[in-house]
Structure 1
Amino acid sequence: MTTPTDVEIRTYGSGHVEPLLDTLVGIWSDAHPELTGPAGADTPGTGTSGLSAVTLRRQILGHAVREGFTLVTAHHHGTTVGFGYAFPCEPSYWFGPELLPRITGPVRSGRLMGLCELAVLPSRQSRGIGSRLHAELLKAIDPEWSSLLVRPDNPRGRGLYDRLGYTYAGPYRNTADGPEYDLLLLEVGRDGPG
């Protein structure tokens, strides 16, 4: 059984992404089979987001060029079992013109971390690995606020983010005809999530 103490967390910058890309996409595909179709196929699964392994690769590489990009990975006995990545960003970029006016003033003027992906292999979930990856991202980026998108039909992911202290900030769509996500927000205190 994997315990939090026998998992090693490693932190990387953007220059280390490409060699890890296949591993990251594999973990994400295993953690989200409803989105990727059978065996991480390159076509969207039956989920509401329309993501695919190919789309995820492009997303990670596109985000890796952003200043402050940080990737964290979790390893158990030499095997990568989870990852997360985030970057500091401007609220206008993260929330977009429709949602930004509904976001409170302190969030709009504070240091914001956009948490893009957090995935743990299904066999290693519910063992504190996702929480540790999240904590390492907060430590590395040192934001005042963190925000992420979660699918409304992802109760496990939403449960983790609720336990970490995130609250619902509003509905969010990447495109006008795209799927609707729940946008969540966390105030990060000096001694951890606030």
Structure 2
Amino acid sequence: MTIPRTDVVIRTYGPGQVPPLLDLVADIWADAHPELVDNPGAATAGLSVPALHRQITGHLKWQGFTMVVAYAGGTAVGFGYAFPCSATYWFGPDLVDQVPQDARTERLMGLCELAVRPPWQSQGIGSRLHAGLLKAIAPKWSSLLALPSNQRGQDLYARLGYEYAGPYYNQPGGPEFDLLLMRTDSRTASPQ
């Protein structure tokens, strides 16, 4: 079911404003990823609501941490968060030498989460959240991890300009992610 598009407002939050939003964004994440909720294999691989809480809380320490939340009619319908980071941190020792030299030396944004509740998907909200993060962080490069099986996400990231940079494992024995990378110079304008 698709809900008719209404005015959507994107609000930007810094690290000190995020803790009261944790349950709200975790609820959005759970709605956007029903295949991972109550899935013991996903939870073991670190793909669960409690893992999301730990992940966000751990990332709050990064200077430049930014969260964006989309509201429609006063209800939160999507969110994303990212922070500027070093290439060594983001890509890890196995991939850092395989990405373009500029991605290793210019300002890099690590995009950690981007989720929209299913009834609000395919209405440009994910693109607007992404644009809000690019505007706030102003990177030259952006990178993210996506499950190969997340076709809807993969399609969005391809439309935004991300390209496959290699396989990535965020923990030993964990699932394989696609590491995606995008040069942002021509993509910092807000979508129409």
TM-score, normalised with respect to structure 2: 0.92
Q: Which residue of 2 aligns with 1:22?
A: 23
Q: Which of residues 117, 121, 127 in structure 2 aligns to 1:121?
A: 117
Alignment root-mean-square deviation, CA: 1.7
Q: Is the 8 A contact 1:151 1:182 kept in 2?
A: yes
The change in CA–CA distance for 1:58 and 1:76 in structure 2 (over 3 A counts) is same
Q: Is the 8 A contact 2:165 2:180 kept in 1?
A: yes
Q: Which residue of 2 aligns with 1:106?
A: 102
Q: Which residue of 1 aligns with 2:57?
A: 61
Q: CA deviation at 1:180?
A: 0.7
Deviant stretches of 4+, over 2 Å: 43-50, 190-193
Q: Is the 8 A contact 1:11 1:72 kept in 2?
A: yes
1:51-83 deviation line (CA, Å, top 9, x unaligned) = 111111000111111110000000001100000
AA at the equivalent of 2:14:
G
AA at the equivalent of 1:73:
V
**Counterparts of 1:47 and 1:160, CA distance in 2:** 25
User: 5+ unaligned residues in a row in structure 2: which ranges?
Assistant: none
TM-score, normalised with respect to structure 1: 0.91
Give the length in aligned residue pairs: 187
Q: Which residue of 2 aligns with 1:40?
A: none
The change in CA–CA distance for 1:155 and 1:49 in structure 2 (over 3 A counts) is farther
Q: Which of residues 63, 70, 77 in structure 1 aligns to 2:73?
A: 77
Q: Is the 8 A contact 1:9 1:74 kept in 2?
A: yes
1:13-43 deviation line (CA, Å, top 9, x unaligned) = 0011111111000000010011122xxxxx6
Q: Which residue of 2 aligns with 1:31?
A: 32
Q: Which residue of 2 aligns with 1:132?
A: 128
User: 5+ unaligned residues in a row in structure 1: which ranges?
Assistant: 38-42
AA at the equivalent of 2:35:
E
**Counterparts of 1:102 and 1:90, CA distance in 2:** 15
Q: CA deviation at 1:47?
A: 8.4
**Counterparts of 1:36 and 1:45, CA distance in 2:** 10
What is the DSSP-based 3-state SS (H/G/I as helix, E as strand, rest coil) of the residue aligned with 2:122? coil
**Counterparts of 1:128 and 1:145, CA distance in 2:** 21
Are residues 1:174 and 2:170 paired?
A: yes
Percent identity, aligned pairs only? 60
Q: Which residue of 2 aligns with 1:95?
A: 91
**Counterparts of 1:7 and 1:50, CA distance in 2:** 31
**Counterparts of 1:48 and 1:124, CA distance in 2:** 29
Q: CA deviation at 1:176?
A: 2.7
Name whichever of 21-30 and 182-191 sits farther off.
182-191
Q: Which residue of 1 aligns with 2:155?
A: 159
**Counterparts of 2:10 and 2:154, CA distance in 1:** 22
What is the DSSP-based 3-state SS (H/G/I as helix, E as strand, rest coil) of the residue aligned with 1:36? coil
What is the DSSP-based 3-state SS (H/G/I as helix, E as strand, rest coil) of the residue aligned with 2:142? strand
**Counterparts of 2:154 and 2:19, CA distance in 1:** 29
